[in-house]
Structure 1
Amino acid sequence: MLPWFGTITARENYANALAEAEYVEITIAKRKLALSVAQSYYQLYAIQTRQDVIDRNIELLQTYEKLALTSVEVGNASAVDVLRLQIRQNELLQQKELLQEEFLAEQSIFNNLLNRESVKQVQVVDSLIIPKIDPLLDEAALTLNPELVKYDKLYESIEQSEFLNQRESLPMLGFGVNYMPVQERPDMDFSDNGKDILMPMVSVSIPLFDNRYNSRSRQNELRQQEIESQKQQRLNVLESALAKAKSLRNQARISFDTQNKNLAQAKDAEKILLKNYETGTIDFNDVLDIQELQLKFQTQQIQAIKLYYVQSAYLNYLIN
């Protein structure tokens, strides 16, 4: 029995449509992996940069400690001020050690994402800056995101499934040969006595009951409606994610600019304190407060840079 003309081609098209839908899933997985790698890298950058900032603050506190010791010798400060500065250094050293452990854990995550040894050392850039102008975003490209293209491929596979269903509901053609061996009859005399019979056969199979095919057509129709609804829902989610990522990136820029201003003012306050040291009126409590503020502003600035680049990576995932 042979299927009706075009049925085999319909099966091939249906199989190809399913394969294309599966390939889009692979594309999505690759893009998500690339996004995870980028996010992990920027996390490593933030941790390493915070360690560098802590090192600079420790050096600054050591300078203050020397000033405090000199002030103690001339009677302008107490030993308590020196101890406070040393305690603060110990706290920063603790933070640095904790960050080192956090860096090693994130480094393992980064290496595992790249499918290599978890202890492999990762080199991170020394510094990142937020550009003055954000790259232009083609938001219309969101509709080309593989997460949405996947639904188009699934819809196409249902179309091919329905076409195949229509082909299979058509008659089938049968071709064959019926062979029958014949034994010679000794009591009869005719020309074809004992000649085997070879009879070509042609048949047509016509489906009388098409309820099965009608039911399958209805299922395909409902499935297409479901896919359209799922695609619209996913589009809404991605549009919301796009808006949020843009907002977070803008917030990162605002935070970065604010911390720049705060750091400049904290540096001015530090200079004033150091000038007061020349007159012997330095207050080391103020020194610690200014140092703590500087560390806070520097940490927030690093977090702003990390947030900016993490959200930029996510925007690339959505529209590039």
Structure 2
Amino acid sequence: MKYLKLNINTILIFAFIFFFLEGNSQQLETYLDEALFSNPEIQKFELQYKIASEKVNEVNNIPNTELGVGYFVSEPETRTGAQRFKVSAKQMLPWFGNITARENYVSSLADSKYEDIVIAKRKLIASVSQSYYNLYGNKAKQAILKDNIKLLKTYETLALTSVEVGKASAVDVLRLQMRQNEMEQLLKVLQQQFLSEQTNFNKLLNREKSNKIKVIDTLFLPNEAIELNEDRLEFHPELLKFDKLYASVEQSELLNQKESSPMIGFGLDYINVNKRPNMDFSDNGKDIIMPMVSVSIPIFNKKYKSQTKQNALQQQEISVQKQARLNSLQILLDKAVNDRNSARISYETQTKNLKQAKDAESILIKSYETGTIDFNDVLDIQELQLKFQMNQIEAIQSYYLQTTIINYLTAY
């Protein structure tokens, strides 16, 4: 049932993330599935959980049976004959409910380990998604640079024509060429950064670093803001783990109380007796069988009293740690929400600026038809247009990166 619950949680997280990707979500979903299956960090936590669960069988036991054999070197004489050797067996048993208390305690520790799997999977989904959006941003910027380089080449052709008819100078052509060089340099830097992020992405999926990544070409912001339920933060697995740790301390105290109870033991002694020679009477050479019952009482039990105090203090510590983590998660969520809102504002502003820059570009092109083009203005407008386009991509990228953080914190 726990693994079924984990799968449902994962599906809901996927659905929340993919809401923004509309029909192009399939590729990221495939990558996330592969990461959850192949990532060694996830496998590590799953193995730790299996080990913790297996410990239930380890504690489901009773103390070893004690067996003893003794031989009388000097055989003591009794009325019925000489004693030759002695065989004894003894079994101590814990008090009623002790084994169950142990099983419950170990199970509660395994439950807290299970939350590590949930947390690790959430973090992996967030890391893969963020890396994917970084790749998208890099690829989109490269496409913008390539378009702008082509545009500058067109302007360069116009400038060369203007030089031939005496309407522009060679300096204008050189300026356009230098601007192209700067863009080509930036394009090469982005290509190197893409390779670095590609390595990071592939290693999250536990693949070869050179594997090609298919990235969506275009991302758009949703028209309406997504409704956010901040109350879900209280059910975050990082906080649920504290609850389970608290419960494990409760089970530890119940076990401590059981272990402070007596232990009862049952045993049997068998003594072999030789017959007395030249005598005939009842019970001559009769062996001795002696059942025994013993009790182990922890009279000096300061250990258990100290453990009780330690458990109480540990519960207080867990409560304080949970509140501290809740505060930090609330801060993180609030920052992500505000940054996402800022990204939307930035995107809308850059969209307006970009439209105006394109309008200015159209005016310049028309000016060329009348022979009054100023290539300094061309470079200024082109630089502004590139800036707005880059800012627009960064705003989209930031929006989805912050959404990934919000999903990590609030998705069920």
Whether the TM-score (by the shorter chain) exceeds 0.5 is yes
After TM superposition, give the deviation of residue 187 of structure 1 in Å: 6.1
After TM superposition, give the deviation of residue 186 of structure 1 in Å: 2.3
Q: For 2:311, which of 206, 214, 220 is the aligned residue?
A: 220
Which one is further off, 230-239 or 26-35? 26-35
Which one is further off, 221-230 or 266-275? 266-275
The answer on 1:104 being equivalent to 2:227 is no
The answer on 1:196 being equivalent to 2:287 is yes
Q: For 1:75, which of 146, 166, 184 is the aligned residue?
A: 166
Q: Which residue of 1 aligns with 2:148?
A: 57
Structure 1, gaps ≥5 residues long: none
The answer on 1:240 being equivalent to 2:331 is yes
Determine the C-alpha separation between the residues in 2 that align with 1:158 and 1:147: 17
Structure 2, gaps ≥5 residues long: 1-91
Q: Which residue of 1 aligns with 2:222?
A: 131
After TM superposition, give the deviation of residue 62 of structure 1 in Å: 1.1
Q: Which residue of 2 aligns with 1:308?
A: 399
3-state secondary structure, aligned to 1:180: strand
Deviation readout 1:44-70 (Å, 9 max, x if unpaired): 000000000001101111111111111
Q: Which residue of 1 aligns with 2:386?
A: 295
3-state secondary structure, aligned to 1:75: coil
Q: Which residue of 2 aligns with 1:18?
A: 109
Q: Which residue of 1 aligns with 2:358?
A: 267
Q: Which residue of 2 aligns with 1:160?
A: 251
Which one is further off, 13-22 or 185-194? 185-194
The answer on 1:143 being equivalent to 2:234 is yes
- State the identity %: 63
Determine the C-alpha separation between the residues in 1 that align with 2:244 and 2:269: 46
With normalisation by structure 1, the TM-score equals: 0.98
Q: Which residue of 1 aligns with 2:344?
A: 253
Q: Which residue of 1 aligns with 2:271?
A: 180
After TM superposition, give the deviation of residue 181 of structure 1 in Å: 1.4
After TM superposition, give the deviation of residue 273 of structure 1 in Å: 1.1
Deviation readout 1:261-282 (Å, 9 max, x if unpaired): 1101111111111111122111
Q: Which residue of 2 aligns with 1:286?
A: 377
3-state secondary structure, aligned to 2:266: strand
Deviation readout 1:47-104 (Å, 9 max, x if unpaired): 0000000011011111111111111111110011011111111111111111111111
3-state secondary structure, aligned to 1:281: coil
Deviation readout 1:5-49 (Å, 9 max, x if unpaired): 000000000110111111111221111111110110000000000
Q: Which residue of 1 aligns with 2:46?
A: none
Aligned length: 320
Q: Which residue of 2 aligns with 1:3?
A: 94
1:273 partner amino acid: L
Q: Which residue of 2 aligns with 1:171?
A: 262
After TM superposition, give the deviation of residue 134 of structure 1 in Å: 2.1
Determine the C-alpha separation between the residues in 1 that align with 2:253 and 2:284: 54
After TM superposition, give the deviation of residue 206 of structure 1 in Å: 2.0
After TM superposition, give the deviation of residue 129 of structure 1 in Å: 0.7
Q: Which residue of 1 aligns with 2:63?
A: none
Q: For 1:92, which of 167, 183, 189 is the aligned residue?
A: 183
After TM superposition, give the deviation of residue 115 of structure 1 in Å: 0.5
* Structure with higher strand content: 2
Determine the C-alpha separation between the residues in 1 that align with 2:299 and 2:278: 48
Determine the C-alpha separation between the residues in 1 that align with 2:343 and 2:279: 107
Deviation readout 1:206-234 (Å, 9 max, x if unpaired): 22122110000000000000000000000
Determine the C-alpha separation between the residues in 1 that align with 2:248 and 2:279: 65
